[in-house]
Amino acid sequence: MKSEVKSAARSAEHSAALRALARGGYVANGVVHALVGGIAVSIGLTGRGDSDQTSALSAVAATAPGAAALWVLTVLLWALGLFHLVDGIAQSRAGTTAGTAKKWGTRLSRWGQGAAFIATGAIAASAALGNRTDGDARAESASRGLLDVPGGPVLLALIGLGLLAGGVVFMVLGALRSFRKRMTLPSGALGRTVRTLGAIGFVAKGASVAVVGVLIGLAGFRDDPHSAGALDSAVQTLRELPGGSAIVVVLGLGLLAYGVFCGFRARYARL
């Protein structure tokens, strides 16, 4: 990667304004996950509601203050996404002795996280503009379009497998508490609390992503777009399992824990 590009990325990465906004982005990400987690708990207890991000954010946008708040969330999430993108280019933490494969692995990880935060910001912006299309409808429509092209079923199955793998990675990060490597945690009870919230939250987040990946993968294997779905379909699928209501409640509580963890991450993340 050209030195001029990396130099510009490092300058942006060290911008105090961008760092402050990126920390705010972690708070915004926590708010989104807390909303989704709360709705998932409600669905587990009552069997009613839509737990995807769009539905959760659309409920916030129902009032003028809520719509304004969504624009704030959008800006913060996009700032966090931008920070991860430039961080991937700058490679400030890769180390001078890191091999090429490791550097590109780190770079792709940063870019993937950046894209995810930007996508979440776009969902918030769409909800602020009054878009009420739910995640399941978007997933089904995208799957249908992909299945209509040559090799589409295989590609859709691979996307599902990729999401499944990503979900498993999240769960492993939570189980091993690997997220601590990019945080400076306090000692004592507060540090233990943050680590516990992170472990629970990462596992819950990973589980939700993995189930979505399974649904999308099945849509590819079956060549059936109706099998695809977003988080709401994942929640409904879990509810159909034996003890499904309890599983959904536990998942929702885990996403709530992840939301709270993101608030602490805003404070203790190494940027």
- Given a cut of 80, is residue 77 above it in pLDDT? yes
- Given a cut of 60, is residue 269 above it in pLDDT? yes
What's the CA gap between 40 and 236, in Å, rounded?
A: 10
- Across the chain, how many H-helices and E-strands are there? 10, 0
- The confidence score (pLDDT) of residue 111 equals 87
Q: What is the per-residue pLDDT across 29-46, written as a single tens digit (0 to 9) for each?
A: 999 999 889 988 988 888
What's the CA gap between 123 and 54, in Å, rounded?
A: 6
- What are the residue ranges of helices labelled H in 2-98? 3-13, 16-46, 53-60, 64-90
Query: Is 171 in contact with 209 (CB distance < 8 Å)?
Result: no
**How much of the chain exceeds pLDDT 70, in percent?**
87
Give the residue among 100, 66, 141 at the shortest CA–CA distance from 91. Answer: 100
Mean pLDDT of the chain: 84
What end-to-end distance do the CA atoms of the chain give, in Å? 22
Query: Is 136 in contact with 233 (CB distance < 8 Å)?
Result: yes
What's the CA gap between 20 and 271, in Å, rounded?
A: 10
What's the CA gap between 213 and 159, in Å, rounded?
A: 7
Query: How far are the Cα atoms of 18, 19, 133, 148 from residue 14, in angstroms, in the given order?
Result: 8, 7, 38, 45
Task: Average the pLDDT over each of 77-81, 110-114, 204-208, 218-222 and give the range with the smallest value.
Answer: 218-222
- The confidence score (pLDDT) of residue 132 equals 67
Give the largest Cα separation in the chain, rounded. 57
**How much of the chain exceeds pLDDT 90, in percent?**
38
Written as one string, the DSSP assignment of 111-122 is HHHHHHHHHHHH
Residue 102 has which token pair? 């490791």
Total-model pTM: 0.85
